[in-house]
Structure 1
Amino acid sequence: MTELPDEIFRKWIHSFEEDTNGITVYRPVEYDFPLARGRGGIEFRPDGVFISWEIGPTDATRGINGHWKIEGSGRVSVSFEESTRPSTVIEILQCDSEVLKVRKLPESS
């Protein structure tokens, strides 16, 4: 994968019920999720912006701004504007209009 698929450019919500063996599963915002107290998510934008949506103290989400860049076949490096937040490498395992499956890798992978 030398480019990201068009389907990835949206806000994805964590479907934690589907996570398995180190694979994190996200679904589109429109997905009919089971009831849960709060859900984080991620967002890829075509201009290289990455947003980590985290659950705040009142269950409202807040965006943590960062940037993504392609690191190789199916791998994306994500760095954040907050200097205290470490950068990470994400392996994209599956991406289509219904699901995004990723695995976080050590940065040296």
Structure 2
Amino acid sequence: MSSLPTSLFRRWGHSFEEDAPGAAVYRPTDYAFPRARGRGGIEFRPDGSFIEWAIGRGDAAQPIRGSWTEEGNGRLRIHFDGDVQPAQTLDVLEVNDSILRLKQRGA
């Protein structure tokens, strides 16, 4: 059973305008984002599946599927199906219904 808040489990859009050194900011996809040419995102599901929504052709979101595991203390390990990208470790710095702030660690 996960100790993570249920607010994590949704699709998030990358609010890159709010990023700070060492921290990426995501907002729920229904957030009133400023206009941008494409906006990536991520999605965590309670069953351990994960999707990175990469910006694809014509600025359309393209899913890159994978899975997540909890390593404790708000740390998540992301593995991508087919090793299309290297695994990554994320620290959840803040999460609630309106914001997700993550720190990416080395592979």
TM bucket, shorter chain: over 0.9
Match of 2:90 in 1: 90
- Output the CA distance in 2 between the equivalents of 1:82 and 1:57: 21
The SS at the match of 1:38 is coil
Greater per-residue helix proportion = 2
- Output the CA distance in 1 between the equivalents of 2:101 and 2:22: 10
Q: How does 1:1-109 map to 2 (within 5 A)?
A: 3-107=3-107
Match of 1:31, as an amino acid? Y
TM-score with structure 2 length normalisation?
Answer: 0.95
Count of residue correspondences: 106
Percentage of pairs with the same residue: 47
Query: Unpaired segments of 5 or more residues in structure 2?
Result: none
Query: Unpaired segments of 5 or more residues in structure 1?
Result: none
Shift >6 Å, 4+ stretches = none
Q: What is the root-mean-square deviation of aligned Cα atoms in Å?
A: 1.0
Match of 2:102, as an amino acid? V
